[in-house]
Chains A and B, each alone.
Chain A
Amino acid sequence: MKKVYTRPKTMKEAHFHYCPGCGHGIINRLLMEVVDEMGLRESAICVAPAGCGMLVYNYFDIDTLESAHGRGAAVATGIKRVRPDNLVFSYQGDGDLAAIGTAEGFHAANRGEPITVVFVNNGVYGMTGGQMAPTTLTEQVTTTTPNGRNPILAGHPVRICEVFSMLDGTAYLERVTVNKPAAVIKAKKAIKKAFQCQLDGKGFSLVEILSPCPTNWKMGPVEACRWIDEVMTKQFPLGLVKEVS
């Protein structure tokens, strides 16, 4: 019998702690599939965030450091400067990269640090219970925007890929999602390209992944996946934002 689906070799035998319908599990798996396929298990160093993604070191069988909230790109910079031959990537959420760690992400990108940021955008602070994130959509209800995000008081959803695309140090920026099989395949290709971009020393690479958070969106998993297509991608259009040849 032909085996068509199996656990990536670089994935530890552990159960995900993620909520049902959450995108993190798919993204974790994609990353380790790519690490396996590119033969990077012995090279990869991951910088884990604070937030729902912080426990990736329970699943990734690669060297992993847990950084302080928002500091992933600075920590990854330190690692990469010491070990330029390793694949160094940070795994960061929207609060992490687009709020508390904007400076670290922005300047690592501007310096063209050859690191990869895997940016999981689910529009809320997941682990702390669904508060407004910088990427929360206008009028979206969260626990800290009970009447919906009012841009006059709470600002507008931040498009990180577009902001970073203005920086000369960025080499590859793409926004993908994981809400259906075809999108998952595209997301995997983007991760692969980002890693390759780093290995080729082209500069800073980032893959923004729109990820469902049914628990904090107060939706069923199917409805959450549909909401990404119907609502979220209007603010955060999918596709390649920048690629330096």
Chain B
Amino acid sequence: MALWVDILISAFLVIGGVFGIVGSFGLVKLQDQMQRLHAPTKATTLGVGGVLIASMLYFGLVQNSLSFHELLITLFLFLTAPITANFIAKAILAKSLKPEDLPDSGRPHGWSVYDDPPKTDAQDLDGGMPGIEDEGRGG
């Protein structure tokens, strides 16, 4: 195996590791719940991304077999990371914050965590969305 391939793969592994550890450090260091939420979204994007690129290069250049699994992992991460972050943020909104803490929505209706969706617009907006909101709050 050529030396430059080694160096390239190691570089991506180190980059991924550094961003992973900075994300974890942020989780410890930051004070506010909402601030802490920023740390994991970071670790999943560049931290895991660096490791995945290194893995793709390793299988492509060293093992000579093209692997699609890394692309799929990237796809699944990019799909799931925002959803989990959004749900954690909603839990924080519902549990620790009040509508007064937040800026005005600038609309006739407030934020969905606290306010019901308008009855008439619900159909043409998206049938599923208001239902999910109701479920989350209905305890």
- Asked if A pairs with B, the answer is no
On B, residues with C-beta under 8 Å from A are: none
On A, residues with C-beta under 8 Å from B are: none
